[in-house]
C-alpha cells in the first residue's frame, strides 16, 4: 500500500531529513585516510542521538548492527562498519544513513572520495549524482515511477556505466521501506502513478563495470561481481503540488 503523508508529516520527515543531511556532512568532513568505518559510525550515532527524540533508523532494522552502512570501493551497499576497515587514499566510501524522528524516517546516501581519487573515479561519482538529480526531477505528481527509473538509467548508461537492478529505491514514512519500489531503470509512463503526498527514497547505485552483484558471506555487504567500483547517492523526496521537494537537505 502506498501511503500519502499530510503536510505536517512531511515537515516531520524534513526535520528528520535535516539531521540526516547534517550527519552525512559531518561524516563527509571526517573521512580521511587511516580512519576506520567504525570511527565514522560512532561519530554518526552520537550526533544523531544528540537531537532529542531522534534515533538511527538502521540500527536493529532487519537486525543490522550499526547506524551507518559504509561500503568501500567495489562494495555497493550495506557494508558493516568495523574497526578492521581502514580507509586508504584513493578509496571511495558510500555512506548510507537513516534517521527516525517522531514516528517517521528519512534516508539519504552519498559516496565520498578518500584523499585523492583518480579522474575516472571522480567521474563515476559525478555521473551518479547527476543520475540522482535526473531521477528527483521526475518525482512530480502525474508522472510515474518508471519516469524516475528511466531518467536515472539514461544518465548512467549514456556515461557508459551500468545500473544495479536487484536493489531499488522505496517509499518511506512510518516504515523505513514502504511501497512503491523505485527501480533505477524503467520505461516512461510505467509503474505506479505519483501523487502529491508520496514520499520516496530515490537511490541510484551505479557501477563502472557490469551490473551483476553478489552478497558477501557476512550476509549484508553487496559487491559488484566484476570488482568494479560502485557509487550510491540517495535523497528522500516528497512529491508536492509544486514539484519534487528534497527532504534530506540541511537548508
Binding site for Mg ion (CB under 5 A): 96, 107, 109, 201, 203, 234
Count of residues in the chain? 251
Least distance between Mg ion and beta carbon 27 (Å):
13
Least distance between Mg ion and beta carbon 12 (Å):
18
Whole-number Cα distances in Å, 204 to 151, 196, 247: 10, 22, 17
Q: Which residue is nearest to Mg ion (CB)?
A: 201
- Tell me the C-alpha distance between 66 and 81, whole Å: 7
Q: Which is nearer to Mg ion, 89 or 166 (CB)?
A: 166
Q: Which is nearer to Mg ion, 130 or 203 (CB)?
A: 203
Q: Which is nearer to Mg ion, 85 or 105 (CB)?
A: 105
Per the DSSP assignment, residues forming a β-bridge with 235 are 202
Q: Which is nearer to Mg ion, 150 or 170 (CB)?
A: 170
Least distance between Mg ion and beta carbon 232 (Å):
8
Least distance between Mg ion and beta carbon 118 (Å):
26
Q: Which is nearer to Mg ion, 86 or 93 (CB)?
A: 93
Q: Is 66 helix (H, G, I), strand (E, B) or coil?
A: coil
Least distance between Mg ion and beta carbon 120 (Å):
25
- Tell me the C-alpha distance between 30 and 178, whole Å: 32
Q: Which is nearer to Mg ion, 181 or 240 (CB)?
A: 181
Q: Which is nearer to Mg ion, 38 or 234 (CB)?
A: 234
Least distance between Mg ion and beta carbon 250 (Å):
17
Contact 223, 74 (CB under 8 A): yes
Task: Name the region of 184 (left: φ>0; alpha: ψ -120 to 50; beta: rest).
Answer: alpha
Least distance between Mg ion and beta carbon 77 (Å):
8
Residue of 106, 125, 91, 99 whose CA lies nearest to 47: 99
- Tell me the C-alpha distance between 184 and 165, whole Å: 7
Extract the C-alpha cell encoding 84: 578492521
Residue of 132, 134, 139, 135 whose CA lies nearest to 243: 139
* Contacting residues for 54 by C-beta, under 8 A, at least 6 apart: 16, 19, 48, 99, 100, 101
Amino acid at each position: 500500500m502506498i501511503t500519502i503523508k499530510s503536510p505536517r508529516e512531511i515537515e516531520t520527515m524534513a526535520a528528520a531529513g535535516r539531521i540526516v543531511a547534517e550527519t552525512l556532512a559531518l561524516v563527509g568532513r571526517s573521512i580521511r585516510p587511516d580512519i576506520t568505518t567504525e570511527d565514522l559510525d560512532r561519530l554518526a550515532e552520537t550526533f544523531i542521538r544528540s537531537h532529542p527524540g531522534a534515533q538511527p533508523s538502521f540500527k536493529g532494522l532487519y537486525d543490522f548492527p550499526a547506524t551507518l552502512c559504509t561500503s568501500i570501493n567495489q562494495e555497493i551497499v550495506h557494508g558493516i562498519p568495523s574497526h578492521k576497515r581502514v580507509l586508504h587514499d584513493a578509496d571511495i566510501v558510500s555512506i548510507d544513513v537513516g534517521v527516525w524522528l517522531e514516528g517517521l524516517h528519512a534516508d539519504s546516501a552519498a559516496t565520498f572520495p578518500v584523499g585523492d581519487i583518480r579522474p575516472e573515479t571522480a567521474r563515476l561519482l559525478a555521473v551518479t549524482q547527476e543520475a540522482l538529480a535526473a531521477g528527483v526531477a521526475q518525482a512530480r505528481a502525474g508522472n510515474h515511477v518508471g519516469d524516475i527509473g528511466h531518467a536515472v538509467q539514461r544518465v548512467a548508461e549514456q556515461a557508459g556505466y551500468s545500473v544495479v537492478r536487484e536493489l531499488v529505491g522505496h517509499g518511506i514514512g512510518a516504515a523505513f521501506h514502504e511501497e512503491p519500489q523505485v527501480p533505477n531503470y524503467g520505461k516512461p509512463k510505467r509503474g505506479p502513478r505519483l501523487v502529491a503526498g508520496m514520499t520516496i527514497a530515490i537511490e541510484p547505485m551505479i557501477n563502472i563495470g557490469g551490473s551483476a552483484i553478489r552478497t558477501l558471506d557476512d550476509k549484508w555487504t553487496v559487491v559488484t561481481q566484476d570488482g568494479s567500483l560502485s557509487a550510491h547517492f540517495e535523497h528522500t523526496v516528497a512529491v508536492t503540488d509544486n514539484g519534487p521537494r528534497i527532504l534530506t537537505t540541511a537548508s
